[in-house]
Structures are given as C-alpha cells and as structure tokens.
Amino acid sequence: DILDPALLRPGRFDRQVAVDRPDRLGRKKILEVHSRGKPLAAGIDLDALAGQTPGFTGADLSNLINEAALLTARSGKREITQNELEEGIMRVIAGPEKKTRIMSEKERKITAYHEMGHAIVGHLLPNCDPVHKVSVISRGQALGYTISLPAEDKFLTSRAELTETMAMTLGGRAAEELVFNEVTTGASNDLEKVTGTAKQMVMRFGMSERLGPRVFGHDRGQPFLGRDMGSEPDYSDEIAREIDDEIRRIVENAHQTARDILDERRDDLERISEILLVRETIDADQFVALLEGASEEEVFPPESEPDATEEDYPSEPEPVNKPTTEPSPSPPRPGYAGGMTDMRSDRS
C-alpha cells in the first residue's frame, strides 16, 4: 500500500494479481491439502470446518491442522478428533489457554455476565452473526470471549448489520451496568470498536441521516516526500462538531438497544451467566437451548463428557499465536471472521 507509484507505472509490471483471503471453498481445498497424511477421525467434515474459519488465511489453516495434530500426539490418541480441531481453531484465533492466570470470584462473575451480555444481545438481534461459543476461560490477553461466526462469507455490510453488531459489542458493558451498577475497564476494546465503526458510518459510508450521503475528509496521498499517512479534514469546525454529535448518538443508541434487551431478559442473563461460571464454556446449541428455557440438567446431562480443554493435554511451553484478525474499528472485511466478537482484555 505504500509503494512508490513510479514502481508500478505501465510497462514495468504486465499484470498485478490481488491475493485475497480464501472463501469457504478455498478454505476447504486448503484444509484437504494440509490434512493429507494426518489421521483424521471418521466423520470429520472439512467443509463444516471451513465454515467455522471465515477470514483464515492459508497459513492460519495450516497452523490449525498442525496444532490439532500436536494436541492429538500429546494426549496419546491415534486420530485427530473434532475436539482437537476446535482447540486448534481457538489457538489460532486467541492463543492457548492461560492456566496460570488466577482471577478472583468477583472478576470471574463480572466476566461471565459481560460475555453473556454479548451473547444474548447478539442472539436476539436478527442481523448479528450467530453465537458460536461463550467462555470465561482466559486466552492470550483475554479474560473471556464470545465468538460469533457468519453463516456464509460476506462481502457487503448493511447499516442494520453495523448498528446491531455495535449493540452486541456493547452488550457486555450494558450487562455490567445492569447487574453490578458499575462498569470496568474490560469493555475498553468494545468501546474502541464501536466508536471506530460509528465514525466510519458517518465519515466514510454516508450512513448518517443527519449529515447525509457524503464522505468527510480525504486521503493525504502517497506517504512520500515528507507526507504522513492518513487523512486531512475538508470541512469546517461546525461540521466537525456535528460529526462528533452524530458519532455519539449512534453509539448511545446502540448502547440503549443492548440495555433494553438485557433489561427485558434479565432473568435469562442471570440464570445462564451462573451456569457459565460453573461450566466455563457453552457452545452454540447449549446456549440456544438454555435461552429457550431448558434447564441445566437437560442441557448438560450427568453422563455427558465435557469437551476437551487445555487440562486434558500435557503441559508444554508453546508460542502464543496471534489472532487471525487484529481487533479493528473497521467493519467486517470480506470473509472477516465476524469471528472474535469480543475478547475481553486484561484490566491493568
């Protein structure tokens, strides 16, 4: 993006090829290549696995299979099962579980309600991606996380999708306010994301009803000859104040939407959050069943075995993989792993 335009003048390069992230079919083909020679258990569906990894690059998919194979070998198994593949996905997205991080019961409870706030708001808003997993297990810099995955690869994002995703993102903070009558620094990344999204809606996407369909600010051009990267204003101070007011209005409306939903479903928020504290991780089917009124005993029968976690594998020092997609205020890119909706960060 910062190449001198002189390098790309006509005649110097006959063809320029844009290499984007693979779509679902591409991810399936890549997984087939990297899983050759690996002992996958019967019933493993690589197409379904490709659907769980939107936004993953070829390198990410290779790491996923390798992580799953390592976990299988360490546990003494002969075949890679769905549990190892699920853990491989989580390691690529967020790194391994932090076994040494000990949180107080108060912090665990706040984290559980925070994550469940995200999940409930996201599930009840029709334009949010489906909730895939909710957990209070620490990974990387996150104290807990809520993952939502799109049903299919996306290339466009509507205003309704942006505003409802913002409400979901603020669901954690809204839950803290509602239940504890207090907010914590754990929602700082959520605020950064929704503020950035609202700013782009107003200044870049022309989605402000008050300011109309126009773009505010223009790029500085190529970052050469002493120029900085970024944009510079092409509007008055009065318009700048209106932009700030509109950004604030959009964020506050999203926050109020989250508050209204959680206020109406407070009983579910408290009931399922307490279950999350005990179970630590709730998957999509379990979450939907609980939200529809099923009891903990119905969803988690005594004879059922819990999913494999880090504790099931021998402990070895491992590098922490960085998330596939850095937290960004930008709206979802094509194939974006709508993915890590919330990684609740450490409070320092």
Domain contains 328: yes
Q: For residue 168, what is the domain's CATH number?
A: 1.20.58.760
According to DSSP, residue 245 is labeled: H
Task: Enumerate residues 6+ apart whose C-beta is below 8 A from 332.
Answer: 150, 154, 157, 338
Whether 89 and 167 map to the same domain: the answer is no
Q: 51: domain range?
A: 19-94
Asked which of 94, 123, 138 is the last residue of a domain, the reply is: 94
My answer on whether 152 and 201 are in the same domain is yes
**Residue 3, domain member (yes or no):** no
Does 84 share its domain with 105?
Answer: no
Does one domain contain both 247 and 273? Answer: yes
Question: What is the DSSP track for 317-343?
Answer: --PPPPPSS---SSPPPTT--TTEEEE
Distance of CA 169 to the CA centre of its chain: 10
Q: What are the pLDDT tens digits along the chain (348 aa)?
A: 567 777 878 888 888 888 889 999 999 999 999 999 999 999 999 999 999 999 899 999 999 999 999 999 999 999 999 999 999 999 998 888 887 788 899 999 999 999 999 999 999 999 999 999 999 999 888 889 999 988 888 889 999 999 999 999 999 999 999 999 999 998 999 999 999 999 999 999 999 989 989 888 876 555 555 555 556 777 888 999 999 999 999 999 999 999 999 999 999 999 999 999 999 999 999 999 999 999 999 999 876 555 555 555 554 444 434 333 333 333 333 333 333 444 444 433
Is there a single domain that holds both residue 81 and residue 134? Answer: no
CA atoms within a 13 Å half-sphere pointing along the CA-CB vector of 14: 0
Instruction: Give the pTM.
Output: 0.80
Which of 71, 94, 117 lies at the terminal end of a domain, its last residue? 94
Q: Which pLDDT score, from 0 to 100, does residue 141 have?
A: 80
Q: Which of 94, 121, 140 corresponds to the end of one domain?
A: 94
139, two tokens: 């990974």
User: How many alpha carbons lie under 13 Å from residue 173 in its C-beta half-sphere?
Assistant: 24
Identify which of 162, 235, 230 has the alpha carbon closest to the alpha carbon of residue 195.
Answer: 162
89: how many CB neighbours lie within 10 A of its CB? 26
**Beta partners for 135?**
145, 281
Catalytic residues: 115
Indicate whether 327 belongs to any domain: yes
Q: Is 199 helix (H, G, I), strand (E, B) or coil?
A: helix
Vertex 157 angle, CA 155 and 161, to 5°: 140
Q: How far apart are the first and last CA of the chain?
A: 35
Residues 138 and 206 in one domain: yes
66 and 181 co-located in one domain? no
Length of the chain as a residue count: 348
